Amino acid sequence: MDWEKLVPRLIHPTKVTVIEAMLWIERPLSATELQSIADGTPVISSFSYHLDRLVESGVLEVVTKLKARRSQGSKREKFFYFVGEKHWASRLARIKDPNDPLMMVALSLAVTALAGGGPGAGAP
């Protein structure tokens, strides 16, 4: 099995962008900030969707909600960051299903690192 070819087809590039941005910037980010970092592509709704999926899979958590810019009314913007390192490591060690989203993210990051990329290098 050629993991280098398989993993990029299984994981969405937006999730890789989210993980790489957080590893690179080393602080919680919102969907709006991620869109700005990615020069407006993909749209905020795509980042929001993938951030929520990463929360559901235990990779990220909502660390705070702040009042959004005036143009968005009274809406509160969510900021996300990695679930504690111990939680991530212990969950990764217990994964039995190779299709688990956390395993996909870990494999994607490993493939990117082995291919000479890294945080900020872009999606594989």
- Which residues have CB under 8 Å from 78's CB, separation 6+? 30, 31, 51, 62, 64, 65
* Residue 114 burial by Cβ neighbours in a 10 Å radius (0-12, 13-18, 19+): exposed
pLDDT tens-digit series, residues 12-68: 889 988 988 888 887 888 999 899 888 877 788 999 999 999 999 888 988 888 776
- C-alpha to C-alpha distance for 61 and 78, rounded to whole angstroms: 10
Q: In terms of pTM, does the model score above 0.95?
A: no
pLDDT tens-digit series, residues 70-97: 555 567 788 898 886 545 555 566 667 7
Question: What are the structural domain ranges in the chain?
Answer: 3-114
pLDDT at 119: 43
- Assigned CATH topology for domain 3-114: Arc Repressor Mutant, subunit A (1.10.10)
Strands 60-67 and 76-82: antiparallel
Instruction: Round the average pLDDT of the chain to a whole number and report it.
Output: 74
Residue 6 has pLDDT above 70, yes or no: yes
